[in-house]
Structure 1
Amino acid sequence: MNAVNEPGRNRPLIAAAVLGLAVTFGAGWAVGHSGDSGNGTSQVATSAGPATPAPSGTGEETEMPSQTAEPGENPVQAGSVEAKLPSRNKWKKAPVKEFTCPDATVRVSTSDQLQQALDEARAGASIRIEDGLYTGEFSTTADGSAKKPIYLCGGRDAVLEAGAIKGGYTLHFDGASYWRVDGFTVRNGQKGVMVDAGRRIGLQNLLVEHIGDEAVHLRTGSTQNVVRGLTIRETGLRKPKYGEGVYIGTAESNWCEYTDCKPDPSNDNFVVGNTISEFTSEAVDIKEGTTGGVLAGNTFDGSGMTEGDSWVDVKGNGWLISGNTGVDSRADGYKVIEILDGWGWRNLFSANRSTVRGDGYAINVTKRRSDNVVLCNNTARAAGEGVTTVKCRK
């Protein structure tokens, strides 16, 4: 959503190397294969207008035919970043590899012990959260390093709760970098996991649920972080219009509060292989001011949306949106929006499968000449207006 939803205080900015990663995202995911075929009638998208709608109520999957798109004629406008169109295989190059938690150097079993461990953490530490309920607003400013990250790990029955959906962050990385976070449950806060000015943090296999606003937020120059394999559900319980699953960056209306009136460069973040449901706004909101990220291999169920009208809003530049599967939207599957001149440009859509069951498009590029590229391997079922607003590219 475009609404203001980031109460807090100013954060410093931090802006990068890339490590290899290959991730398996489940059956039916074939990133970058233009031969990915649907099971139903072909649907033609033209450069002059919207795609021809599929027959109403058939539920058939439609695949875009192989056509060559003409890139936008207008250059990226002033105020934006000159982002390049990403490679369709960029999803393989996540900055944080999938990891296994090492043996614990510290074990905690109470809320006080957990906060103390977060305060005293040093590079190479491995904190193990024992099963149990941990109540509080937990935070850290500690840094690991590239060779010695800090691990924070626990099972699903280790539950962190802020205590209320009307205030506070359940888990806050406040200027902290090089953490590896795995396995436990985060719930019952206004926000679930907040990363401010964090770099190379890996959030992996968490359950984040029953949250007042958004479940996970990467903000104020948080770069090269990876949100991988999370189960996210029940967001927007405080205010439905703020109920995103994953929120990247800062809305332009808040730049003066958080980033000295400049774009929030929360760049090169990866959101991969997550399952997001029961969200009231978007599953993922990619804000203007962010560049170079990857949204790949995720599953979205929009049947609980009450405020958003698409699974994903894309307002940043140079993002790869690839191999995602979505069902049930109020209007569109994915929506690319130029909320600010020169933003919402040069994003690439590849091999996404959409069962929209809504009145809009699977991929709605709202400004046609913005150098966004929709490959012909994207497919759609039950999209009232068709696959996309632009001609597909082979």
Structure 2
Amino acid sequence: MNGPKGGPLMAVAVLGLVVTFGAGWAVGQNGSDETSQAVSTPAPDITSVATPAATTPDPDDTVLPAETSTQPSDSDDYAASRIKLPSVDKWKTPPVAVFRCPKATVTVSTSDQLQRALDTAKAGTSIRIADGLYTGKFRTSRDGTAKKPIYLCGGRGAVLEAGAVKGGYSLHFDGASYWRANGFTVRNGQKGIMVDAGTGIGLQNLLVEQIGDEAVHLRTGSTKNVVRGLTIRDTGRRKPQYGEGVYIGTAESNWCEYTDCQPDPSNDNFVLGNTISGTTAESVDIKEGTKGGVLSGNTFNGSAMTEGDSWVDVKGNGWLISNNTGTSSRADGYKVLEILDGWGWRNLFAANRSTVKGSGYAVNVTKRHSDNVVLCDNTVTSAAKGLTTIDCSRK
């Protein structure tokens, strides 16, 4: 859903960390730091998707031909939004690897201690949050580095909350980059976790619940972040129309407020292996202006939606949406929308399993000639109108 998403504009950082990722989302909190080693648990099963021969160009370099003359031209105001069709294997190379929390360098047990640790953290700091209730609008603008991120770790019994569903952000990474947050609970804020202009942040194995608006929001040029293995539930308690699970970017109606009237380049973010339910709006909302992200291995339950009519709205370009499982939607499983000319193009849907129980499609591509691709390995049951609005592709 569209709507105000408050917060300042921050400078965009750049991340160069690319690693191999498997489907082992949940990991322990003790042990060594993240590595570029492949996770040993089985990867999502998309092996039925055809892959190019070794002599052909890499699939990331393949651009589908224009379907009609309605394709954006080089003179179009949004020509910069044009992007290549993603590879079906892109989910394997997330910008932040599965990680383990190292030994704590700082342990906190009060709200004041937690905020002080967030204010003074530096590259390599490892903050351990003891079990207990931490009330406040917790915020940091401190940076780690790609080689020495800052860790913020705790068990489920460590609960961060803003105090009310109108109480602001429970946890705000405000221009902060290279953090790793793992294990603890975030609840009872207007927004759960907000990332503004953050790069290389890994949110992993967190519980985010009882939120006034959206649970997790990556915004204002937040790039190359990973949201992995979260349990997200019970959003939209303040305004149901803003109750998304994960929200990427900024609605065009708010660009002039937050991004100088330009698209919000919250690009190359990965949303992997999360369980999202009890949201009043979409499980995931991918806004116009975002490019090149991955939504893979997630589980969606839309039975609580009162405002959204699909688990996922896709309004950006070049996204891979693969190997997700969804159930119960008011209309569609996934909906691709062209909010502005040149946006909502060249997204790839692969190996998703949809039990829609709604009035629409598993994948509703609302502008049929927009170079979106729905592979035939997507499956659907209980969708009144079937798999998709376009012909599925076998490769």
The CA deviation string for residues 308-358 of structure 1, in whole angstroms up to 9 with x for no partner, is 000000000000000000000000000000001100000000000000000
Displacement after TM superposition at 1:108 (Å): 0.1
Q: Distance in 2 between matches of 1:237 and 1:386?
A: 32
Are 2:86 and 2:318, in contact at CA under 8 Å, matched by a contact in 1? yes
Other-structure match for 1:106: 106
Name the CA shift for 1:194/1:153 in 2 (closer, same or farther; >3 Å). Answer: same
Q: What's 2:221 paired with?
A: 221
What is the aligned partner in structure 2 of residue 231 from structure 1? 231
1:34 pairs, out of 46, 49, 52, with: 49
Asked if residue 19 in structure 1 is aligned to residue 15 in structure 2, the reply is no
- Structure 2 CA distance for aligned equivalents of residues 335 and 18 of structure 1: 31
Superposition deviation, residue 393 in structure 1:
0.9
Q: Distance in 2 between matches of 1:17 and 1:11?
A: 19
In the alignment, is residue 73 of structure 1 matched against residue 93 of structure 2? no
Q: Distance in 2 between matches of 1:117 and 1:28?
A: 36
Aligned equivalents of 1:118, 1:281: Cα separation in 2: 31
Describe the superposition over 1:248-267 as per-residue Cα deviations: whole angstroms up to 9, x where unpaired: 00000000111110000000
Percentage identity across paired residues of the two chains: 70
Deviation at 1:8, TM superposition (A): 2.8
The correspondence of residues 305-320 of structure 1 with structure 2, limited to 5 A, is: 305-320=305-320
User: Which range is displaced more, 21-30 or 187-196?
Assistant: 21-30
Q: Does the 8 Å contact 1:21/1:98 carry over to 2? A: no
Match of 2:144 in 1: 144
Looking at structure 1, the residues matched to 269 and 65 of structure 2 have their Cα atoms a distance apart, in angstroms, of 28
Letter in 2 for 1:76: P
Name 1:6's counterpart in structure 2: 5
**Are positions 1:257 and 2:252 aligned together?**
no
Structure 2 Cα separation of the partners of residues 116 and 331 of structure 1? 47
Deviation per residue, 1:107-130 (Å, 9 max, x gap): 000000000000000000000000
Q: Secondary structure at the match of 1:354?
A: strand
2:208 and 2:215 in contact (8 A); partners too: yes
SS in 1 for 2:282: coil
- 2:96 aligns to what SS in structure 1? coil
Match of 2:329 in 1: 329
Q: How does 1:42-191 map to 2 (within 5 A)?
A: 72-74=67-69, 75-77=71-73, 78=76, 79-80=78-79, 81-191=81-191
Q: CA deviation at 1:71?
A: 5.9
- Partner residue in 2 for 1:270: 270
Report the Cα offset of residue 28 of structure 1. Answer: 10
Match of 2:383 in 1: 383
1:244 counterpart residue number: 244
Once residues 199 and 9 of structure 1 are traced to their aligned partners in structure 2, the CA distance between those partners, rounded to angstroms, is 16
Asked if the contact 1:165/1:212 (under 8 Å) is kept, the reply is: yes
Cα distance in 2 for partners of 1:273, 1:374 equals 21
User: Structure 1: how far apart are the matches of 2:305 and 2:390?
Assistant: 26
Shift of 1:34: 3.4
Q: State the distance in 2 between where 1:4 and 1:337 align.
A: 17
Q: Is the 8 A contact 1:32 1:89 kept in 2?
A: no
C-alpha separation in 2, matches of 1:296 and 1:363:
15
Q: Give 3-state SS (helix, strand or coil) of 2:310's partner.
A: coil
Q: Is the 8 A contact 1:317 1:343 kept in 2?
A: yes
Gaps of 5+ in 1: 36-68
Question: 2: CA distance between counterparts of 1:9 and 1:151?
Answer: 24
SS in 2 for 1:256: helix
The residue that corresponds to 2:363 in the other structure is 363
Partners of 1:76 and 1:370 within 8 A in 2: no
CA-CA distance at 1:20 after TM superposition? 2.0
Contact 2:215-2:245 at 8 Å conserved across structures:
yes
**Greater RCO, 1 or 2 (C-alpha within 8 Å, sep 6+):** 1
- Superposition deviation, residue 7 in structure 1: 2.2
* RMSD across aligned positions (CA): 1.6
Please give the alpha-carbon distance, in whole angstroms, between the structure 1 residues aligned to 2:192 and 2:98.
21
Deviations 1:86-112 (A, max 9, x none): 000000000000000000000000000
* 1:195 match: 195
Could you tell me whether the CA contact under 8 Å between 1:204 and 1:228 is conserved in 2? yes
C-alpha separation in 2, matches of 1:367 and 1:28 = 32
Normalised TM-score (structure 1): 0.89
Q: Give the direction of change, closer, same or farther, for the CA distance of 1:194–1:155 in structure 2 (3 Å limit).
A: same
Q: How many angstroms does 1:33 deviate by?
A: 1.9
Partners of 2:66 and 2:358 in 1: CA distance: 28
Deviations 1:360-390 (A, max 9, x none): 0000000000000000100000000000000
Gaps of 5+ in 2: 26-41, 51-63
**Contact 1:165-1:189 within 8 A present in 2 as well:** yes
- Once residues 145 and 15 of structure 2 are traced to their aligned partners in structure 1, the CA distance between those partners, rounded to angstroms, is 13
Shift of 1:29: 4.2
Equivalents in 2 of 1:202, 1:386: separation in Å? 36
Using the TM superposition, give the Cα deviation of residue 15 of structure 1 relative to its aligned residue in structure 2, in angstroms: 4.8
Alpha-carbon separation, structure 2, partners of 1:32 and 1:283: 26
Asked if 1 retains the 8 angstrom alpha-carbon contact of 2:138 and 2:169, the reply is yes
Letter in 1 for 2:124: G
> Shift in Å at residue 76 of structure 1?
3.2
Q: Does 1:287 align with 2:287?
A: yes
| Counterpart residue number, 2:304 | 304
Cα contact 2:178–2:200 (8 A) shared by 1: yes
Distance 1:105 1:15 in 2: 27
SS in 2 for 1:333: strand
Amino acid at match of 1:124: G
Question: Partner of 1:39 in structure 2?
Answer: none
In structure 2, relative to structure 1, the CA distance for the partners of 1:261 and 1:145 (3 Å cut) is same
